[in-house]
């Protein structure tokens, strides 16, 4: 049976905090423990904070280009400058929205630069981890060292979608599992060979976990139990569509 449960009472994260150790401790405080095959789903925000990816806006001097974009979008020019520094290119700029391609290859609003849950002051922003796969690797290694359990790790962030309203959790870093379940070459129920079906299970698990994760109530971690993740050591780039196959750019 598939179950998803939140890891509660995670304290405010500071630079240098050991997230793997902290998560193990909090699960034990809840009267539980990691089981073999559990999947840890972790919000990007606490990973960024633990890795010191917090940038005070007071330390940013906006470029002329950032000032121009800020005037067009109504955004803080310092925050726009932070977005530009985290971006490879601007994809769309319309109706106050700034959609960019990040240095990781993600297409998202504001390059993932965000002011929510940073701290008591509004003068800082968080940036995405430099390498969320590496972040997931470190957390998974710590969990294994403490518990002896092999626990895949998914790091997530909330993205909008071009053709639908609302946001959903997406995987931005993985460790200990493949992100895609490839059904190509298998048979459907009528014995037809599947040609194109590749299920982005890392994204589906991230979205499912979001149902028990709550930004307002400090629940940045969830555990998924009872799902057999595709085995292997995948990387998040496997979920990023190459530009030559992108029909909308």
55-125, CATH topology level = CofE-like fold (3.90.1660)
Number of continuous H segments (helices) and E segments (strands) in the chain: 6, 12
Burial class (CB in 10 A: 0-12, 13-18, 19+), 23: buried
- List pLDDT tens digits, range 98-109: 999 999 999 999
Contact 138, 153 (CB under 8 A): no
Cα separation of 119 and 217, whole Å?
14
Taking only the tens place, the pLDDT of each residue in 123-173 is 899 999 999 999 999 999 999 999 999 999 999 999 988 889 999 999 999
Pairing state between β 3-7 and 221-225: antiparallel
Q: Domain ranges for the chain, please list them.
A: 3-53+129-239, 55-125
**pTM summary value:** 0.94
pLDDT-based confidence at residue 121 (cuts at 50, 70, 90): low
Exposure on the CB side of residue 248, measured as CA atoms within 13 A? 7
Tell whether the model's pLDDT for residue 48 goes beyond 90. Answer: yes
Architecture of the domain delimited by 3-53+129-239: 2-Layer Sandwich (3.30)
pLDDT at 180 over 80: yes
| Cα 103 to Cα 244: distance, rounded to the nearest angstrom | 18
pLDDT at 76 exceeding the cut of 70: yes
Nearest to 139 by CA among 126, 153, 120: 153
Domains 3-53+129-239 and 55-125 share a fold: no
CB 124 within 8 A of CB 139: no
**What b/e string do you get for 173-206 counting C-beta neighbours within 10 Å, with b at 16 or more?**
bbbbbbbbeeeeeeeeeeeeeeeeeeebbbbbbb
Find the range with the poorest average confidence among 54-63, 112-121, 166-175. Answer: 112-121
């Amino acid at each position: 049976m598939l179950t998803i449960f939140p890891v509660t009472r995670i304290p405010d994260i500071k630079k240098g905090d050991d997230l793997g150790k902290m998560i193990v401790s909090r699960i034990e405080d809840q009267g539980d423990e990691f089981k073999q095959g559990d999947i840890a789903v972790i919000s990007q925000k606490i990973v960024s904070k633990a890795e010191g990816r917090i940038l005070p806006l007071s330390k940013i001097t906006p470029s002329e280009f950032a000032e121009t974009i800020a005037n067009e979008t109504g955004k803080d020019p310092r925050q726009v400058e932070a977005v530009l520094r985290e971006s490879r290119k601007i994809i769309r700029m319309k109706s106050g929205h700034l959609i960019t391609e990040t240095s990781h290859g993600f297409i998202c609003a504001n390059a993932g630069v965000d002011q929510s849950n940073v701290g008591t002051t509004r003068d800082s922003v968080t940036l995405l981890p430099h390498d969320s796969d590496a972040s997931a690797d470190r957390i998974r290694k710590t969990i294994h060292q403490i518990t002896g359990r092999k626990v895949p790790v998914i790091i997530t962030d909330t993205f909008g979608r071009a053709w639908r309203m609302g946001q959903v959790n997406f995987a931005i870093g993985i460790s200990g599992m493949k992100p895609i379940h490839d059904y190509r070459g298998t048979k459907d129920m009528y014995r037809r060979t599947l040609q194109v079906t590749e299920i982005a299970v890392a994204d589906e698990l991230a979205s499912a976990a979001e149902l028990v994760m709550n930004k307002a109530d400090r629940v940045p971690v969830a555990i998924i139990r009872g799902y057999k993740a595709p085995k292997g050591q995948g990387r998040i780039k496997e979920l990023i569509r190459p530009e030559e196959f992108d029909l909308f750019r």
